[in-house]
Structures are given as C-alpha cells and as structure tokens.
Amino acid sequence: MANPVWHTELQIRLDLTRPDLGHPDMPDLWERLRADKREPARRRGLRCAGICWDRGVEAYMYLRERNGLREAVHLSEAHQQLHFTPTSPEHKAYQERLVRTAEEAGHRAKTEVSSPGRRIRSDVLIEGAGGIVVRGEVQVSDVSAPNIAYRRRVGEELGYVQIWHTDKRDLSARSDTWWTRADVLPPEAILGRRDLEIRSGFRRLTWDRCGVLRGLPCPDRRSGYCGGLHPKHEPAAIGLDSLVRGASSGLLAPIEFQLTPTSRIHRIWVTAADRDRYLDGGGPASPEPEAAAASHASRGGPTCRPALCVGGCGRTVSLLDSTGSRRCWHCTQPARPQRPAGSCAWCGSTEGVRLYAAGRRCRSHTPAALAEAEEPGRDAYCPPRICWCGNCPHAGARQARDH
C-alpha cells in the first residue's frame, strides 16, 4: 500500500495508488512534481501524511519510480521506522480492557481514532456522560518528552479528558501529563476480570491548618504561619476500571496541582469533589472563607488568576497586552493576507506563474532564479527541457505527451 503524501505548497493530498494522484483536474501532476530534481528535497514541500502525520512528526519525503511502481520515500530512516513499529500484545490488551470497561458502564468507545485534521490519533476514545470525551493513551514503550507534550497539548485543545496509562516507573515519575501506572503484567492478566490496581497517579487532597502543629512554614510567606488552610495530596487506592468509569461519568477528574505558584506542577487524578474544592479556593495555598476571616485576609479570589482571552479563541491569559485588555499572543498578531488562487508561492504574483516541484512560481522566483543560475533553455522550455504547457516558443521543444 502506497504511503499518502501531503504537498504543503499546493495544500493537496497525493494518492499514489491512482494514475492522476487523485487530482484529475491537474494533468501530468506526477511528471511535474518530479521535473526539477535540482531543488533540495526538503524544499519540495512533500510530507508524510500517514503514521508520521498522526504522531505529529514532520517527516519529509521524495518521489521515485521503481520497476514501474511509484513510491514516496522518507528522507529520515528514523521516520521510516515509525511505519514498522509493531503494537505489543500488552498494548492491545490494554486497549481492549479500556473499551470493555467503558462499554460495560454504558458508554461508547472506539480504538485508533484520528482527531479532526489528523493531528493526533487516540488509542481509545470514550463518549462518556454529559458530553464528556475521555481519551485513553497506553504507553508501554519509551517515548520522548516533546512527543508527549505535543499530544497532550492537542488533546487539551480538543477538550478531551486524558488518561495516560503506563507500566514504566520512569514515565510515571514525570509530570508532563496525567500518568497512571500499574504493575508489569502479561496480556492474559491485563484482559482478566480482576481490577488492576493503580500504583501511582491517583491522589487524595487534604487541607492542613497553617500553624505550629503543621510543623512547616507557610508556603505563601515562606516563613511563619498565616492561620489559613493549605492543600496537599496523598496516595489513594483505586483500580483501572474504577478510574475509567469515574472519568467517563465525571466523578473523577484530572487537575494540575501546585503547592505555590512557583513550585512544580503535579498532574494528578482526584475526585470531582476534591477538584471543585481546590479550584473554588483559587488554586495553590488559597484559604477557605472561614480561615480567611480568622486571619483578616481578603475574601476575594487571587488577582493573578488566569482569565479567558477576549479574542474568543478560548485560551487562558494572565497578563494584559499593550492595549490594556486580556488578549493572548495569537490574537494580537495581524491577519495574514490571502493570496489569490494560482499565485506564486514566493511573492504572490499572478503573472507568468508555472508549477514547479517546489510549488507555483513566477519567472522571478523559479528555482533557477533563486539559485542565481541560468534557466534551462534560456527560459524557452518548461523545466527540465520538456514542454508541459504546449506553448513553448522554441520549435525544437519536445512535448511531454510524446514521452
């Protein structure tokens, strides 16, 4: 099966299994894309639209033809290996377990679901109660921190409640996402009916009165005592099935816990009641109303609490922009002008534009012009010395349809 390819300049998807690449309105597209081989492969704008795309990897490709078969080849061997990484039996067993648990609880669940735009692909996607969408990710192999950060960020933008499950201690010790960990088990035990105990990732929140009996200085003042209540988290027992059912029904929720605004972020799972109490208190080290009255502190929430961007993008901001309003960086950028269809991808001109391997270019920005080299045939031919348009002025120009 041929690998799907995305052309970044033309904004089209190429299907190598079809003679016209899936675009009958663009004749001889295959020959045009392979015409100018002097252009570096990374500047031709061809990217893998398969597994690399699903995993958020920017993998460049080039086209070739072998024994009459058209192929799209990765430039990097590491990107090529992503297509041959087998799914372990333990990974498949965890997927089946999550789907079974969700369906027995009355929810709908699917495996290997791609997000809109194919930005990420979820191992399991559960449609829970009240419009809750739970994304289950199983990670039983090593993975880089940037990869996890990208997939978690996209999941947050899509509004997913994310369960990241692993059996590796080094992964569960990180705080780059909401990790839960169980023991290393064979597939038969994972698929069994006994609930798998979560060793880390689920916590119970408690609040201690800030005073001499607490034995620790106030996390806000860094010294002394304020008399208020400060939250902390402690290990709590729960099973994997109970976690899935609770997340799908809204009884359990993930939070980002900070003891102080400058301390380390802990991404943990807690009960919905603990989450509401934690957030209602304003986040880290915010006393309850009763404690605030006793310590003569303000009853209002913290003034540094992030607010939604007024631009309507849904992002949270905590600083004012130059106009004095809460607007994120993305909404302060000027809108990019829309170029007319068929214009030069370099400058936007519509005069003398032709299709090259690097996209549509005018005469001033052809690959040869940018390289300060002479045009093939002194601009008398379509590149490379074969006429594609049928209007070349030179009488000896060979026509592409004859080859």
Tell me: the pLDDT tens digits for 115-163? 876 678 889 999 999 889 999 999 888 777 877 888 888 889 889 999 9
pLDDT at 49 over 70: yes
pLDDT the model gives residue 301: 34
pLDDT the model gives residue 291: 34
Confidence category of residue 400, pLDDT binned at 50, 70, 90: very low
334-354, pLDDT tens digit by residue?
555 667 777 887 788 888 888
- Mean pLDDT (whole number) for 190-218: 84
Answer whether 349's CB lies under 8 Å from 342's CB. no
Give percent of the chain with pLDDT exceeding 90. 22
pLDDT at 385 over 50: yes
Task: Quote the CA–CA distance of 146 and 58 in Å, as a whole number.
Answer: 13
217-245, pLDDT tens digit by residue?
787 666 777 777 878 888 899 999 999 99
For residue 151, which of 131, 171, 169, 137 has the smallest C-alpha distance? Answer: 137
349-370, pLDDT tens digit by residue?
888 888 776 678 888 888 778 7
3-state secondary structure of 20: coil
Average pLDDT over all residues of the chain: 76
Q: Which residue has the higher pLDDT, 264 or 38?
A: 264
pLDDT the model gives residue 212: 67
Task: Quote the CA–CA distance of 297 and 218 in Å, as a whole number.
Answer: 14
Q: How are strands ordered across the β-sheet holding 12-14? A: 12-14, 5-7, 46-48
Give percent of the chain with pLDDT exceeding 70. 71
Confidence category of residue 397, pLDDT binned at 50, 70, 90: very low
Answer whether 350's CB lies under 8 Å from 340's CB. yes
Please report, for residues 57, 61, 70, 73, the alpha-carbon distance to residue 64 in angstroms, rounded to integers and kept in the order given: 22, 10, 6, 8
pLDDT at 287 over 80: no
Read off φ and ψ for residue 325, nearest 5 degrees. Answer: -115, 160
- Mean pLDDT (whole number) for 58-86: 75
The strand ranges marked E within 258-353 are 266-271, 307-308, 316-317
Give the list of residues 6+ apart from residue 78 with CB closer than 8 angstroms, or none. Answer: none
For the chain, how many helices (H) and strands (E)? 12, 20
- Mean pLDDT (whole number) for 306-331: 55
Greatest Cα pair distance, the chain, in angstroms, is: 98
Residue 41 DSSP symbol: G
Burial class (CB in 10 A: 0-12, 13-18, 19+), 1: exposed
Beta-bridge partner residues of 371: none
pLDDT the model gives residue 328: 62
Burial class (CB in 10 A: 0-12, 13-18, 19+), 23: middle
Give the list of residues 6+ apart from residue 43 with CB closer than 8 angstroms, or none. Answer: 358
Pull the structure tokens for residue 133. Answer: 């969408």
- Given its phi and psi angles, is residue 352 left (phi above 0), alpha (psi -120 to 50 degrees) or beta? left
The strand ranges marked E within 258-397 are 266-271, 307-308, 316-317, 354-356, 359-361, 386-387
Confidence category of residue 208, pLDDT binned at 50, 70, 90: confident
- Mean pLDDT (whole number) for 15-24: 84
pLDDT the model gives residue 294: 34
- Mean pLDDT (whole number) for 283-296: 36
